[in-house]
Structure 1
Amino acid sequence: MNSGNIVITGAARGLGLGMTRYFLGHDYQVLGVDLDKEALARLDQAQVPGLQLVHLDVTEESSVQSLARLVESRFGRLGGIINNAAISQPYHEPIDKLSLSHWQRVLAVNLTGPMLICKHLSPLLEQGGAIVNIGSTRAHQSEPNSEAYAASKGGLVALTHALAISLGPRVRVNAISPGWIDVSALQPGDTPAPGPEDHAQHPAGRVGLVNDVAAMARFLLSNESGFVTGQEFIVDGGMSRRMIYRDCATDTPAAE
């Protein structure tokens, strides 16, 4: 990557906040975008060098167009984009009671938003720049009553390889699909910390950390991944490869 200027959406809370701190700690200039005014205000009060913040709804095209003009005036060119903004609560009412408004809002934020960001900001990426979309393992496996979230993340994975073909070879586009990432330290009181059983069920021996995702994103934005595009990288401690069927007699995972 030729430039340390990047845009991160959903930058003020949870995983986005953790990635913002990570990239600032690795000498990047970050333009952080978020819809949560209170979270943005808290982050702004910290007065972190290298960080600029913008209040924005990624589903509003006129606002994204304004963001592109702002980016061009402040940075000129971008080295990378991380599309992280999302309605991250996967659960809703049963499908027969799923409101159309909820379905449409989740898809608007989680799928249309990244498309609009790429539409208006990708022309500002330098030759060799890169886009990282933050998906989810729920694009591949589900629990009940999570249709909107699963559909949005599955669509984002498909959008990733479509963009890679359309924007290549000038720009590379990849996706990271995290599993369980512990953000409890970033959102005290909002998210309970995982316990010993939560860690133990992971083949890697622990729940994921924000830096597990951030380090992968940094690699995908760098020139070191110059031959990698259109791909999805699952960062879940091996959970999506674990056999989940139970042996009812012993209440242990069934063996093959």
Structure 2
Amino acid sequence: MSSGTIVITGAARGLGLGMTRYFLQHDYQVLGLDIDKEALARLDEANMPGLQLVRLDVTDEPSVQSLARLVERQCGRLGGIINNAAISHPINEPIERLSLSHWQRVLAVNLTGPMLLCKHLSPLLAPGAAIVNIGSTRAHQSEADSEAYAASKGGLVALTHALAVSLGPRVRVNIISPGWIDVSALQPGDTPAPGPEDHAQHPAGRVGAAEDVAAMARFLLSGESGFVTGQEFIVDGGMSRRMIYRDEPAAE
């Protein structure tokens, strides 16, 4: 690994896979972490230059500590961290039946995981390097029965500005909160592709792509964003700014 290596968690599926491919195409060295053994095997078979893969549960602190020792041995310094790993399905059971185990697992992966990566890897970041957390617009908007996911992403927004103050000025920390990102081509058969109505409802005229999030992350990792830290960036095609009312019949 080179001094320009970045870490991407949840690198083998969905948005993480899209970002991994994007950064490799832009000449980054990527250390990709994921817990999904089969997805890691598929990605490994692609033989992408500049990519090293490690199977890791981001909630397991001894494993994260071992990763930090690996990084220190191989490259000494990191150019950045993208905390993307998450239990991404936002809907859980109604609150009356929400199991404590589900609640705890979602918060462990989506919130404690990024904290552990920052705790053990931030000392290895080169001066001027940055951390990018991947949140969600569901930190601000909700559908019914999404308490665990919304809480985890809302907590990640708060963790981001706390880390920015604690780790600055040596390290900058920001968060991207995506809206609807189409990963159907990255996970064939797992996720249906959006239809024309899905695209049309967005003020930007389309559903988002992994590259939209990756490009923002690349900017936030670069020196061009050197005066930006502790901030949240909404990448949702304008949906969170659109007023939506249910059509009502006209009064007689």
TM-score, scaled relative to structure 1: 0.96
CA contact (8 A) 2:3 2:75 kept: no
Shift of 1:34: 0.1
Map of 1:224 onto structure 2: 224
Shift of 1:246: 2.0
Q: Deviations over 1:145-199 (max 9, x none)?
A: 0000000000000000000000000000000000000000000000000000000
The count of corresponding residues between Structure 1 and Structure 2 is 249
Shift of 1:16: 0.1
Shift of 1:59: 0.2
Shift of 1:244: 1.4
Map of 2:150 onto structure 1: 150
Map of 1:200 onto structure 2: 200
Q: Distance in 2 between matches of 1:4 and 1:67?
A: 17
Q: Distance in 1 between matches of 2:31 and 2:158?
A: 26
CA RMSD of aligned residues (A): 1.0
Map of 1:36 onto structure 2: 36
Q: Distance in 2 between matches of 1:3 and 1:236?
A: 32
Counterpart residue identity of residue 67, structure 1? L
Counterpart residue identity of residue 167, structure 2? L
CA contact (8 A) 1:24 1:50 kept: yes
Shift of 1:76: 1.1
Counterpart residue identity of residue 47, structure 1? N
- Unmatched tracts of structure 1, length 5 or more: 251-256
Shift of 1:3: 4.5
Q: Deviations over 1:33-72 (max 9, x none)?
A: 0000000000001111100000000000000000101111
Q: Percent identity?
A: 86
Q: 1:102-121 counterparts in 2 under 5 A?
A: 102-121=102-121
Q: Deviations over 1:120-163 (max 9, x none)?
A: 00000000010000000000000000000000000000000000
CA contact (8 A) 1:135 1:176 kept: yes
Shift of 1:4: 2.3
Shift of 1:73: 1.2
Matched, 1:211 2:203: no
Map of 2:60 onto structure 1: 60
Structure 1, 67-76 or 89-98: larger mean CA deviation: 67-76
4+ residue segments displaced more than 4 Å: none
Q: Distance in 1 between matches of 2:49 and 2:36?
A: 21
Map of 1:8 onto structure 2: 8
Map of 2:100 onto structure 1: 100
- Unmatched tracts of structure 2, length 5 or more: none
Q: Distance in 1 between matches of 2:87 and 2:129?
A: 27
Matched, 1:80 2:80: yes
Counterpart residue identity of residue 155, structure 2? G
Q: Distance in 1 between matches of 2:225 and 2:203?
A: 26
CA contact (8 A) 1:4 1:28 kept: yes
SS in 1 for 2:126: strand
Q: Distance in 1 between matches of 2:70 and 2:32?
A: 12
CA contact (8 A) 1:4 1:27 kept: no
Q: Distance in 1 between matches of 2:215 and 2:66?
A: 30
Counterpart residue identity of residue 192, structure 1? P
CA contact (8 A) 2:6 2:28 kept: yes
Map of 1:254 onto structure 2: none
CA contact (8 A) 1:136 1:177 kept: yes
CA contact (8 A) 2:3 2:76 kept: no
SS in 2 for 1:47: coil
SS in 2 for 1:247: coil
Map of 2:179 onto structure 1: 179
